[in-house]
Amino acid sequence: MNGQVAHPPGYPLYTLLSKLIMVAMPNGSPAWKVNFLTAIFSATAGSLLQLTVLRITGCVGSSFLAVGLFSINKLTWTWSIGAEVFCLNNVFIGALMCLAVVFEVDDDPEHITKILYIGTFVSGLALCNQHTIVIYVVCIAFWVVLRLLKLRMLTWRLVVKLFVFFFLGLSPYLYLPISSHLNTARWTWGDQRTLDGFLTHLLRREYGTFDLGKDQAGSGFWSLTKAYWEHAHEDLCELGPFLALIGVAVALIWRIRNEGTSVLVFAVMFLTYTSLFAWRANLDINNDLFRGVIERFWMQSDMVLALLAGVGFSMAVRLITERLMGSKQLPMSSVFAMMGAGIIIILQMKHFLVCDQSSNKVIQNFAKSLLNKMPRNALILSKGDLPTNTMRYFHLCENVRPDLTILDVEVLSYTWFLPLMKKFYPHLTFPGDRWYLTNQVLADGTRTFNFRAFLEKNHDRHPIIACIGMQERDASWKDSFFTLPFGPCQQVVPYSFPFDPVRWANQTGGFADDWNYSHENIIMDFISRSKMFPKESWEKVANDEMWQAKIGTAFFMYQQAQITEDIHKKTQLLIQSYQLYFRAIKINQIPGRLVTKESFPHFWYKNFALACEKLLHLDHDIDKGKLCKLAISNFRQYLHLEPDDHDADKIEEAIEILTQRLDTMQKIDNVDMHLENMAKRMNKMGVADLMDNS
C-alpha cells in the first residue's frame, strides 16, 4: 500500500489507518496486519455499545447481552476478521450513540459544548469512512439542535465552531487529491486532481450515488425488508428482535414521561436507515454473492437493534423480578449478568464453527495457484473482484511473480485510467489515449482504440490470459482472436495460432489437480471438524472456479468436437476429452461404485458418458466395447446420483440403446472368436497345407 486511493468514495480514513498499522507492526503480512486492525475496530465497537447500554440502563448484564447479540452474531464476526471498512463504521456508530446518551444527561453548558465539539468531529470522521452513516448523523444532529434550542444554547458562534470541527473531521479527504497529484502508487482508483474528479469519486458517480451496485436491479423494498428480519431472527437470537420491540416501547414510555429521548432517537435512526437501505439496495437478494454484499450493510442496523434489545431486556427482567416475583431487594446486576452471559455462551456455540476461519487459506491458495501457473511474462487481463483483488494483492504487496503484468480491464475504459496509470505498464503498448468501442479521434483530440487493436499490439510480446472470463464490453477482438481454456482462465490467441489438441490437453488438463478442497465447499477447521463455506462467500466462488477448472479443458474439447465438421479433428478432440474426463474421475473418485454421494460434481459422469458415446461413431484405436461399457456405467451412475435430472428419460433410452449395441458387439466378438478358433484347429490339422498343394 503506497499512497493509492481506494474505490469510490475513497475511504481515506481506513486507507491511512491501514498504512499506519503496516508501518507500525514489524511482523506479519500486509493482509494480516490490516485484518488485525479490523478486529481491533470490531472489539472497540462492541466496547462502545456495551458502555452505551450501561449508561442507559445502569445494568451490567443488559450491556453484556447487547454486546453479545451484536459482536458474536455470525454477520459481525464474519466481517471482523477481514480487511473491510464496516467495523470502523461500527466504531463510529457506537461513539455517536454513546456521545448522544452523555449529551442527554449532562446539564453543564461547558460539558455540553465539549461533547458537541467531539460529536461533530466524530461525525466528520465517520463520513470519511462509510457514507451510509449520514442517516444516523442527520437524525442525531436534528435531535441535538432541538435540545440546544430548548436549552437556549444555539448561537451562530456555536454553529460556526461546530462546522469547523465537522470539517476538521472531514480533513482526511484531502488525502485523495494529494495522492492523485503524487501518483506514486502502482494501483489507484480515479483522478481527484480536479474538483470534478474529486466529486465524481466522493459521490460514487461511476456506480450511482444512491445505488449499491452498478447497472443492477434490486429485489424490491419488501423482499429486502423481509430478508433483514429473517437475518435478525436467525443471527441475533430468536429473542433479539422481540426484546428490541420492548426496547422501543420503553423508549416511547420514557419520552411520554420526559425521562429521556435518546433511545427513541436511536429507534428512529434504525427504522429510517433500514427502510432507506431496503429501498435503494439495487442488488438481487436471491443471488448468494450479492446477498453477501447486502448483508454487510445490515450491521449498521444490527448495532442499534442490539442496543434496543439491551434496553428491552433490562426492563423485562426488572418487571419480572420486582413485580411478578414481588422482590425489590434482588441483586439485579447479578441476575442480569448471569442471563446475559448465558445468551452469549449460546451464541458462541451456535456461530463458532461457521465463523472460526483460523485454518481458512482458500483465497490465498486460489490466488497463488493462479499466479504460479501463469506463463512467464504473461499479461493477465483480470475481470471481477475475486481474481483482480486476490492476484493484485499477492503480486503488488507480497511480490509474487513480479514478471507478470496484471491489468484490470474493467477500469481500462475509465477516462482517468491511462493518464494516471499508463506509466506503471511500461511493457504494454496502448494504441491511443482511451479504450473505446472504435478506433477514432474524438473532438477533444483524444485517440481511442478498441480491444482488438490493444491485443494486436501486445500479443506478440506477452502470453495473454483473461482471468476469469473475457470482457464483454467490446467484441471487436473476436474478429482476430479466440480463447483456449487455461485452468479457470482463458488464453487469448490469434486465429493463426497452431492449436494442437494433444499438446493443449497435456499443458492445461491437469491445471487444478493440486486443488484439494472438497467440491461441496467443505473446509476442515483446527479441531478436524468439517464446515461449509457460506453460500455468499468468496471461498465458495473460488472453490467452484477451481473445480470447474479440473474439467475445463475436457469440456472445451467436447464442445469444439460438436462444432467442427472435420472428422479427423472431431476424432482427435473427442479422444482428448475422453482421456481428460477419464483422468479427472479416476483422480477424484471415491473407491467403489454406486455411492450415494461423490467427491466431485455429479455431472462429470454424464459428460464422460457423452464423450464415450460420441467416440462410438468414429474410427480410432480405442476399444469400442470398452467405450460402450463406460458410457453405460457412467450414465447409470449419474442417474443413481441425480434421479431427478430433467433428461432422465433420454438417458434411460440411451442406456437401453447402448446395452443393445453392446450385446450385438459381444455376439460379433463371439462369432469372430469362434471363427478364429476354427482357423487355428484347421491349421493344426494341416488343412492349409493341403489347400496350398491342391
* All cell numbers assigned to 637: 451412475
In tens, the pLDDT along 248-259 reads 999 999 999 988
394 pLDDT more than 90: yes
Please report the pLDDT score of residue 348 as a whole number.
Answer: 61
In tens, the pLDDT along 131-159 reads 999 999 999 999 999 999 998 888 999 99
Highest mean predicted confidence (pLDDT) among 61-75, 261-275, 532-546, 643-657: 261-275
Cβ neighbour number for residue 190 with a 10 Å cutoff: 26
Q: Please calculate the CA angle 356-270-351 and round it to the nearest 5 degrees.
A: 15
116 pLDDT more than 60: yes
Percent of the chain beyond pLDDT 90?
Answer: 61
107 pLDDT more than 50: yes
- Three-state SS for 221? helix
169 pLDDT more than 90: yes
Q: Please calculate the CA angle 395-84-44 and round it to the nearest 5 degrees.
A: 135
- Three-state SS for 579? helix
Q: How far is CA 257 from CA 254, 261, 268, 316, in A?
A: 5, 10, 18, 18
Instruction: Choose the weakest-confidence range: 600-614, 632-646, 674-688.
Output: 674-688
In which band, very low, low, confident or very high, does the pLDDT at 106 lie, cut at 50, 70 and 90?
confident
Cα gap 20→507, rounded to integer Å: 44
State how beta strands 440-441 and 464-467 pair: unpaired
* All cell numbers assigned to 356: 472460526
Buried/exposed code over 584-607 (b: 16+ C-beta within 10 A; e: otherwise): bbeebbeeeeeeeebebbbebbbb
Instruction: Choose the weakest-confidence range: 413-427, 523-537, 595-609.
Output: 523-537
30 pLDDT more than 50: yes
Mean pLDDT over 349-360 rounds to 78
Please report the pLDDT score of residue 525 as a whole number.
Answer: 45
Amino acid at 522: I
Please report the pLDDT score of residue 671 as a whole number.
Answer: 54
Q: Which residue has the higher pLDDT, 282 or 269?
A: 269
Please report the pLDDT score of residue 595 as a whole number.
Answer: 52
Cα gap 43→39, rounded to integer Å: 6
Q: Minimal CA–CA distance to 12: which of 163, 168, 187, 202?
A: 202
443 pLDDT more than 70: yes
In which band, very low, low, confident or very high, does the pLDDT at 669 lie, cut at 50, 70 and 90?
low
CB contact at 8 A, 115 and 106: yes
212 pLDDT more than 90: no
Cα gap 246→263, rounded to integer Å: 12
CB contact at 8 A, 634 and 612: yes
688 pLDDT more than 60: no
Mean pLDDT over 551-571 rounds to 94
Percent of the chain beyond pLDDT 70?
Answer: 89
In which band, very low, low, confident or very high, does the pLDDT at 218 lie, cut at 50, 70 and 90?
confident
How many CA atoms are closer than 13 Å to the CA of 400, on its beta-carbon side? 20
Cα gap 299→297, rounded to integer Å: 5
Q: Minimal CA–CA distance to 265: which of 142, 152, 162, 132?
A: 142
Cβ neighbour number for residue 559 with a 10 Å cutoff: 13
Q: Minimal CA–CA distance to 303: which of 232, 353, 351?
A: 232
Instruction: Choose the weakest-confidence range: 33-47, 217-231, 349-363.
Output: 349-363
List, in order, residues 6 or more apart from 383 with CB less than 8 Å away.
408, 409, 410, 466, 467, 468, 469, 470, 471
Buried/exposed code over 26-63 (b: 16+ C-beta within 10 A; e: otherwise): eeeebbebbbebbebbbebbbbbbbbbbbbbbebbbbb
DSSP string, 65-86: HHHHHHHTSHHHHHTTSSS-SH
In which band, very low, low, confident or very high, does the pLDDT at 332 lie, cut at 50, 70 and 90?
low
Mean pLDDT of the chain: 88
pTM of the model: 0.87
Please report the pLDDT score of residue 1 as a whole number.
Answer: 54
List, in order, residues 6 or more apart from 250 with CB less than 8 Å away.
263, 311, 312, 315
In tens, the pLDDT along 197-210 reads 999 999 988 877 67
List, in order, residues 6 or more apart from 73 with CB less than 8 Å away.
235, 236, 237, 302, 347, 351
Mean pLDDT over 502-511 rounds to 93
CB contact at 8 A, 142 and 279: no
- Three-state SS for 436? coil
Where are the strands (E) in 388-515, listed by range?
405-408, 434-435, 440-441, 447-449, 464-467, 481-486, 489-494
What DSSP element (H or E) covers 381?
strand 379-382
Q: Which residue has the higher pLDDT, 353 or 643?
A: 643
674 pLDDT more than 70: no
Q: Which residue has the higher pLDDT, 662 or 174?
A: 174
